[in-house]
Structures are given as C-alpha cells and as structure tokens.
Amino acid sequence: MKPYQFWVLTVGAGLTLLLALLNMAMFQANLSALGEVNERAKYIQQSTELQGLYRQMVQALGELALSKNDESLRELLAGEGLTINAPAPSIPGAATP
C-alpha cells in the first residue's frame, strides 16, 4: 500500500466516524424534540376536551355576577377579557321578532 492511499483511507475512516457520531447526536436531539411535541399534543387534546366544561363554568360565573350584582366577580371576569352583558329586559305585551 502506498503512503497516500493509507492517508486517504485514514481520513475517509475519520470522516465516517465523525458522521456516525453526528448522526447519533442528531437522533438524540430528535427524540427529545419528539417527546416535547407529544407533550404539547397531549395538552392540546386535554384542553379541547375540557373546553365545554370551562365554557359552562364561565357562563355560570357570569350569571352569578349578574344575579348577585357582584362587582368583584365582574372584575375577575373582566381581567380575563370577558364582558358580562345583561339580557335585554322584556317588555310585557311587546311582540318578539
């Protein structure tokens, strides 16, 4: 074997080893990213399942704030970006459209 062949093969083997190590590191990084994505997907799924319950809770809080005229409860809901609108008073004898 000629000396230049030895060095070409040695450099090629070194590059192959370097690429294999890089591949292992990227595989580990992908696994951790996949775990994070799965956790976020699980959170989103659980959030959508609870959305109906949350809506009912907010509606009940709004009705309670109206019926008890609770200013602190109104402020709490307003702090979350929710406004309470009282239903329009019904006028006896008025026709509904």
Total residue length of the chain: 97
- Domain hosting 25: range is 3-79
> Could you tell me if residue 16 is inside a domain?
yes
pLDDT tens string 47-87: 888 988 988 999 999 999 888 888 898 888 889 888 887 76
If one counts the domains in the chain, the total is 1
Is there a domain that residue 41 lies in? yes
Given a cut of 80, is residue 26 above it in pLDDT?
yes
Cβ 62 vs Cβ 83: under 8 Å:
no
Residue 44 lies in a domain: yes
Comparing CA positions, the residue from 66, 96, 62, 67 lying closest to residue 81 is: 62
pLDDT at 88: 62
Assess if residue 97 is contained within a domain: no
**Judging by beta carbons within 10 Å of its beta carbon (0-12, 13-18, 19+), is residue 65 exposed, middle or buried?**
buried
Give the model's pLDDT for residue 92: 65
Is 61 within a domain?
yes
pTM across the whole model: 0.47
Nearest to 65 by CA among 73, 75, 57, 77: 73
